[in-house]
Amino acid sequence: MYPTPLASPGLSFAVHSFLASPHARNTCGHNGLPLTPNSVRILGRFQALKKLTHPCLATYLDLQRGKHERVVIVCESYERNCQKLLSSDKSPTAEINSFAHFDGSPPDYPEVVRRIFYESLHALAYLHRQNFVHHSVSLESIQLTDALHVKLSNHGTYFITENGACVPFPIGLPKYLPPEVLLDPKGLHSPKTDLWSLGIVLLELALRKELFNFELEEQIALVFECASSEKPVMCILERHKLVYEYLCLSEQVRDAIEACLSVPLEHRPSSEELLSHPYCDMQIEMLEEPPKGLPSHELIGADQIEECIENSSQLPEAWEVLNLHELYYFWRLTGGDALAEISKQRDYIRSRPAIFGLPNLTLIEGEDCGAERDSSYYYRDTYLRLPMDSLRERLKSVDPDIMFISISILFERFNFERHRSESFTTKTASELPLVIRERDIEYQIRRIFRFRKLVELYPLTGRAIQLEAAIDIPPYFRGHVWAALLGAQGDYHAEFDEIDKDTPTPMDRQIDVDIPRCHQYDQLLCSPVAHMKFRRLLKAWVSSHPQYVYWQGLDSLCAPFLSLHFNNEALAYQCLSRFVDKYLHKFFLQDNSQVIKEYLAVFSRLVTYHDPVLSLHLQKEDFIPDLYAIPWFLTMYTHVFALHKVYHLWDALLLRGEAFPLCVGVAILTQLREQLLTFGFNECILTFTDMPELDIERLVKDAVDIFDSTPQSICFRSHSKRPISGMTPLSLETLREELTPRISTDDFFIALSAPSSKDASGRTTLRERVLVLDVRPKEEYLEGCLRGAVNIPKDVAFTPEGKLASCPEASALAAHKGNIIVVFGNEEDRRKVANQLVHLDYRHVCILDTTVHDIRIRMSPPICLY
């Protein structure tokens, strides 16, 4: 059994750090924009390393940027490595025996070497299959776990630095590099580079001696000597006077070494070929096991569920289930900060006073001459181990019950009510502000345990995810949860692969100029890798939606999904596509004017419904939504808020229907209400040119309240994806003339029936009291009316000044102010009365969307007369 990460005392997180090459000042790229800092380029490429999962590869966890292009990489690290194995004073047997967790009886030294070689080669083959070249294989890079298994490290440096182009130092130690690489140090090298390096490592391990212990020039000279030799290995051995020792090795190992140390590339085997070498004929149980847990970037498909349930039926050890990425996440929540740790180590970052770095001459183009090269630009492969104690302590003190809670979901997955009540244990915590909850380790551990199970079992757990997400969504799983809420499933990889993302289209220029302007404050999204992914996603969307076109703003919509699914474009695409389909139906039509105008008109009416005073003020100032709200709705607020705010807003949005964005708009206006009421047109529009700082948590809460207190049909749009049936589609003129929204008969009767009721989606909402205002002439009213209706005929309703005429019915109406008032009558009359009520500051006025004829069947003679 593969040991649990924290049970292994040798494991910790470690950082290593280097400086990326700085750009000369004021240089810019072909598009006139400043060159992307190399550390940002590196950050973008780094993300792909997180996807690598091989039991013999050390996991890359995080990359942070420090000052002056410093790059700090956090990865899994072990205390021991092959170099320490060789330099140890102990006998080989004693050394091997000191690996406490060795499974089975410790074999002899040559067998250990064979295993190390095999595991390293296995890991290299995995890398090569995915087009990574390690380029830094060395004794030191082969770390050893407590069970004496290999953890190959440093395998990402060559890749993230764009084959060394982004850094001022060469990648890899010269003594391990093959001649062809030393001849052409910068450039893209073959994966077979690693085979040469592994050959040297094997030679050193087999002879139990570190080679090339001399000056750098001599090392390089020796490698070149090899290049011209018939048998390179002999060259090296003769130089070290180790020919006899070498000949004492087994024939198999010698053959493997010699295969690796072939100078011509065509004679050197690939990693795959070498795996079938007789020396590699062995079985390592660990390598056959499937990787544990859910890969951090993937949302599982239905076919893997069976297996998952099977695996989950046995109770795992408490911390075994956490993968390293989760552990690292918790490490950060306990206050871990890799950048701070590294700056504490003064001798790790030896900084020289800047004055010594001044150049003698600076050219007008910005190039410096004569500055002495700072030695901190050289590569140092020292790893600094990060303190793990507080994490261990913290995890120990966590109530083990939360494990069982999460397992219990399995058995209760069809009993959501019970499951829901259970989550009241976390109720107190969930009343804390969201930003605090997101940083509280105890709370996040609970949430992550709960969600990881739910996410693993998706789509079976779709409903349970919705219920849990309504409490909050742990940031660690936000990407997965969003995808689940949007209903992503099926083989989205195949779907995405089939889409043409490359053929040039007339839209490309627009996409290319928009991407470098989209959420570029975000370190990750401004990297070239992100730009490339952006481009592919946008082009994929455009080419697979021929009925739609690219409108500026689609780029902003793409940003949150790209940022959350950076390593899974297919899933990001799937989410984008489903999101647009659900919330922005028809918005990206070539001619979307009708759709958007209707949306904005419905928005205006919703504002009037909730806040007639503000609405009338804005209308009086000609401050119409067309001038400020298009970017709100077209981009679902991604163009007006920074990503961290969008996350919280969309957490709420994705749980709700199409009408929610309208409610967010109302909430924004109400949050700024006091100012807006005193503002004229110019101040109003200036307010929204740069969206003011808004309290996003309050905004979300207000929007949810507004959404819950608004009957669905109030936000009816004829262009929505599934228009509410039975509602009359209204022309734009009518939408503008009629200030108040309309309510469907269904919603009306629901609202009428009980103060608290469930609507179609099962949502329980507290409804206000409803008053029906019948504006037909008295005679018609007496013939039959809706239950409880108050009759104020339109002709006598208002005084010439526009005030309510005084009558008992009017007093009843006035007493009802603030609650829902449903105006019922003939087309013209009801509009006039409803509009006038708005001018009298009545909130929640709506018009019953039906004709007298259609609803006659539900009418009865009035019961009481005022």
Partner 1 sequence: MSNRAQGGPGNGATAGKICQFKLVLLGESAVGKSSLVLRFVKGQFHEYQESTIGAAFLTQTVCLDDTTVKFEIWDTAGQERYHSLAPMYYRGAQAAIVVYDLTNPDTFSRAKTWVKELQRQASPNIVIALAGNKADLASKRAVETAEAQAYADENQLLFMETSAKTATNVNDIFLAIAKKLPKNDAANQQGQRLNVAQSAESNQSGGCCK
Positions touching partner 1 (CB under 8 A) are 28, 30, 32-34, 509-510, 513-514, 516-521, 526, 549, 551-553, 555, 590-593, 596-597, 600, 619-620, 622, 624, 626-628, 630-631, 634-635, 639, 681-682, 685-686, 689
CB atoms within 10 A of CB 90: 11
Nearer to partner 1, 257 or 595 (CB): 595
Identify whether the C-beta of residue 179 lies closer than 8 Å to the C-beta of residue 227.
Answer: yes
> Rounded to 5 degrees, what are φ and ψ at 139?
-55, -40
Helices 232-240, 192-207: axis angle to 10 degrees equals 40
Nearer to partner 1, 33 or 94 (CB): 33
Q: Which residues contact 465 (CB under 8 A, 6 or more apart)?
A: 451, 454, 455, 458, 481, 484, 485
Handedness of CA 741, 742, 744, 745 (dihedral sign): positive
Handedness of CA 386, 391, 396, 401 (dihedral sign): negative
Rounded Cα–Cα distance for residues 526 and 534 (Å): 10
Q: How far is the CB of 625 from partner 1 (least distance, A)?
A: 9
Q: How far is the CB of 639 from partner 1 (least distance, A)?
A: 6
Identify whether the C-beta of residue 670 lies closer than 8 Å to the C-beta of residue 611.
Answer: yes
Rounded Cα–Cα distance for residues 663 and 710 (Å): 9
CB atoms within 10 A of CB 249: 17
Q: How far is the CB of 621 from partner 1 (least distance, A)?
A: 9
Nearer to partner 1, 8 or 520 (CB): 520
Q: How far is the CB of 62 from partner 1 (least distance, A)?
A: 25
Q: How far is the CB of 556 from partner 1 (least distance, A)?
A: 8
Q: How far is the CB of 269 from partner 1 (least distance, A)?
A: 48
Nearer to partner 1, 365 or 431 (CB): 365
Rounded Cα–Cα distance for residues 846 and 821 (Å): 6
Nearer to partner 1, 628 or 824 (CB): 628
Q: How far is the CB of 592 from partner 1 (least distance, A)?
A: 6
Nearer to partner 1, 131 or 590 (CB): 590
Rounded Cα–Cα distance for residues 192 and 261 (Å): 10
Nearer to partner 1, 423 or 619 (CB): 619
Beta strands 820-824; 790-791: pairing state: unpaired
Structure tokens at 384: 């600094």
Q: How far is the CB of 591 from partner 1 (least distance, A)?
A: 5
Q: How far is the CB of 631 from partner 1 (least distance, A)?
A: 4
| Beta strands in 355-431, from DSSP E residues, in sequence order | 361-362, 368-369, 384-385
Q: How far is CA 568 from CA 288, 308, 780, in A?
A: 25, 21, 64
Nearer to partner 1, 540 or 600 (CB): 600
Rounded Cα–Cα distance for residues 321 and 452 (Å): 10
Beta strands 764-766; 742-743: pairing state: unpaired
Q: Which residues contact 671 (CB under 8 A, 6 or more apart)?
A: 694, 695, 698, 699, 702
Q: How far is the CB of 547 from partner 1 (least distance, A)?
A: 15
Nearer to partner 1, 221 or 732 (CB): 732
Nearer to partner 1, 84 or 597 (CB): 597
Nearer to partner 1, 33 or 183 (CB): 33
Q: How far is the CB of 537 from partner 1 (least distance, A)?
A: 17
Q: How far is the CB of 669 from partner 1 (least distance, A)?
A: 17
> Buried (b) or exposed (e) across 672-687, using 16+ Cβ within 10 A?
beeebeebeeeebeeb
CB atoms within 10 A of CB 703: 25
Nearer to partner 1, 11 or 691 (CB): 691
Q: How far is the CB of 501 from partner 1 (least distance, A)?
A: 21
Nearer to partner 1, 3 or 528 (CB): 528
Nearer to partner 1, 736 or 817 (CB): 736
3-state secondary structure 633-684: HHCCCCCCCCHHHHHHHHHHHCCCCCCHHHHHHHHHHHHCHHHHHHCCHHHH
Q: How far is CA 285 from CA 53, 322, 434, 444, 677, in A?
A: 16, 21, 45, 34, 72
Residues in the chain: 866
Handedness of CA 103, 105, 106, 108 (dihedral sign): negative
> Up-side HSE of residue 90: CA atoms within 13 Å toward CB?
11
Q: How far is the CB of 696 from partner 1 (least distance, A)?
A: 19
| Beta strands in 296-404, from DSSP E residues, in sequence order | 361-362, 368-369, 384-385
Nearer to partner 1, 348 or 551 (CB): 551
Q: How far is the CB of 803 from partner 1 (least distance, A)?
A: 22
